[in-house]
Structure 1
Amino acid sequence: MMVGVSDDRPPEESPANTADPTTPATPPQRLRTLLVIAAVLFGLDLLTKTLVVANLTPGDPVPVLGDFARLSLVRNPGAAFSMATGMTWLLTLIAAGVVIGVVRVGRTLRSLWWAVGLGMVLGGALGNLVDRLFRAPGPLQGHVVDFVAVGWWPVFNVADSSIVCGAILLVALTVFGFEPNGTRVGRGSERSGGESAA
């Protein structure tokens, strides 16, 4: 009679069991976050412009904080804060290029804060692009609706604010070494504390 031989060898290790616990997990892709932020800001920009056009008259500002802050309807053929007013068609093409570029970068994005910054830029660019495409005097020549007047600052809108604030955030992330892929310069593949918290 043969005695059964027990096999005490451990089961073969699966790829899941061989992962190094000291290796940080890959951050999730952030395209959805970017698009949600862009959609919210685009919707807010569109809503405020619609209300302003329906309720304000050009040249008849409405005081909010005395003469310091006012709602003043202005149709702007230029860029943010009324710059480059004679280059509307070129600004339209630039805005379209920004939208395409941001979406392409967003497909591989893994940093939460980069997603926030790019989402702000994308939402603002879309808001002003829609004005240039669909408002008078015509496609590629449309004037952007601006309505927020603060002190001596040029009149602006939600889209302008989104673009500027998003750009400032992206510059800050670059200066402090935060990469779009979720890593930080000088730390190799190690994720920064701010990213791990995200």
Structure 2
Amino acid sequence: MTTDVLARAFGLIRDVPDWPSPGVLFRDITPLLADAKAFASVIEALAEPAGDADVVVGVEARGFLLGAAVALAAGVGVVPVRKAGKLPQVAASREYELEYGTATLELPAGGVSPATKTYLIDDVLATGGTLRASCDLVEQAGGIVTGIGVLLELDALAGRAQLTGRTLHTLLHG
């Protein structure tokens, strides 16, 4: 992917101050998703490092959109990591801290078996809690995290430190 395409994609991400709570700067990727060329370029770039993964794990909720498209591009299936209470059968559950509170994520039963190679996808890496909890869920189910792909890494929040020892692929930094 060229620098021009990345710059254009980054320019489509909208900043929304004080959402979901005062002091938080939300990064809205909706304009990027609505732009077919930018979306296709981002998906292609995120799919490249999927390697020999058996499945892509898309993290709630915008990671579902990116994850499903990345899985399709990589020729593998997709498994969602959901907020608590959204799945009929749960393989693993994990509470974690957000920059503005706590939450619980769940992995569906049957999505990740022992030794399943997984490539995790999320839209934004902020403090790293969500992605770390998602990696823990996959590993609790016996899966192997082969890599993590994110559209945007917010460098100032140092989320990468939560993922030490993991292979992280970031397209954009902000």
TM-score, normalising length: structure 2: 0.25
Q: Give 1 or 2 for the bigger CA radius of gyration.
A: 1
Higher relative contact order (CA 8 A, sep 6+): 1
More helix as a share of residues: 1
More strand as a share of residues: 2
